[in-house]
Amino acid sequence: MITMLDVSLRAGVSKATVSRVLNGTGQVKESTRIAVFKAVEELGYRPNLLAQALANQTSNTIGLVVSNFDGPYFGRLLRQAAHLIEASGKHMIVTDGHDTPEGEREAVHLLIDRRCDAIILYTRFMEEPALMQLISQHHALMVINRDLPQARDRCVFFEQQQAASEVVKYLIKQGHRHIACITAPINTPTAQSRLAGYKDALEQNQITYHDSLVTLGDSSVAGGYHACCELLARQQPFTALFACNDDMAIGALRALHQAGKRVPEDVSLFGFDDEPSAEYLQPSLSTVYLPIDKMISTAITQALRLSSGEIVEPVEPFVGELKVRESVAKIK
Q: What is the pLDDT of residues 23-52, one digit of tens each?
A: 666 788 888 888 988 888 888 887 665 555
CA distance 242 to 286: 10
pLDDT at 71: 67
| In the chain, % of residues over pLDDT 90 | 61
pLDDT digits (tens, 9 = 90+) for 216-270: 999 999 999 999 999 999 999 999 999 999 999 999 999 999 999 999 999 999 9
Name the residue with higher pLDDT: 159 or 87. Answer: 159
pLDDT at 196: 98
**pLDDT band per the 50, 70, 90 thresholds, residue 2:** confident
Give the residue from 278, 202, 260, 302 showing the smallest Cα distance to 269: 278
For residue 54, pLDDT beyond 70: no
pLDDT at 91: 86
CA distance 294 to 254: 33
What's the alpha-carbon Rg for the chain, to the nearest Å? 25
Name the residue with higher pLDDT: 71 or 36. Answer: 36
pLDDT at 49: 56
Angle made by CA atoms 219, 100, 93, in degrees to the nearest 5: 100
User: For 292, phi and psi rounded to 5 degrees?
Assistant: -60, -35
pLDDT at 324: 98
Q: Out of 117-131, 152-166, 290-304, give the one with best mean pLDDT.
A: 152-166
CATH 3.40.50.2300 matches 160-289: yes
Peptide bond into 264 cis (omega under 30): yes
| In the chain, % of residues over pLDDT 70 | 95
For residue 55, pLDDT beyond 70: no
Angle made by CA atoms 329, 322, 156, in degrees to the nearest 5: 155
160-289 shares the fold of 61-158+292-319: yes
CA distance 308 to 58: 10
Over the range 64-103, which residues count as b (16 or more CB within 10 Å of their CB) and which as e? bbbbeeebbbbebbbebbeebbeebebbbbbbebebebeb
Domain extents in the chain: 4-47, 61-158+292-319, 160-289
Q: Under CATH, which architecture does the 4-47 domain have?
A: Orthogonal Bundle (1.10)
Please name the residues in contact with 98: beta carbons below 8 A apart, sequence gap of 6 or more: 67, 68, 104, 107
Range 305-318 average pLDDT: 92
For residue 279, pLDDT beyond 80: yes
pLDDT at 48: 63
Range 110-127 average pLDDT: 90
The DSSP bridge partners found for residue 182 are 215, 243
For residue 137, pLDDT beyond 70: yes
Report the predicted TM-score, pTM, of the whole model to 2 decimal places: 0.80
Give the residue from 308, 256, 250 showing the smallest Cα distance to 279: 250
Angle made by CA atoms 96, 300, 61, in degrees to the nearest 5: 65
pLDDT at 53: 55
pLDDT digits (tens, 9 = 90+) for 97-106: 888 889 999 9
Please name the residues in contact with 23: beta carbons below 8 A apart, sequence gap of 6 or more: 52, 55, 56
Name the residue with higher pLDDT: 114 or 118. Answer: 118
The DSSP code for 85 is H
pLDDT at 68: 74
| DSSP-assigned states of every residue in 41-82 | HHHT----HHHHHHHHT---EEEEEES---HHHHHHHHHHHH
For residue 274, the SS3 value is coil
pLDDT at 56: 53
Assess contact for 131 and 78: CB atoms under 8 A: no
Please name the residues in contact with 12: beta carbons below 8 A apart, sequence gap of 6 or more: 35
CATH class of the 61-158+292-319 domain in this structure:
alpha beta
Q: Indicate the average pLDDT of the chain.
A: 90
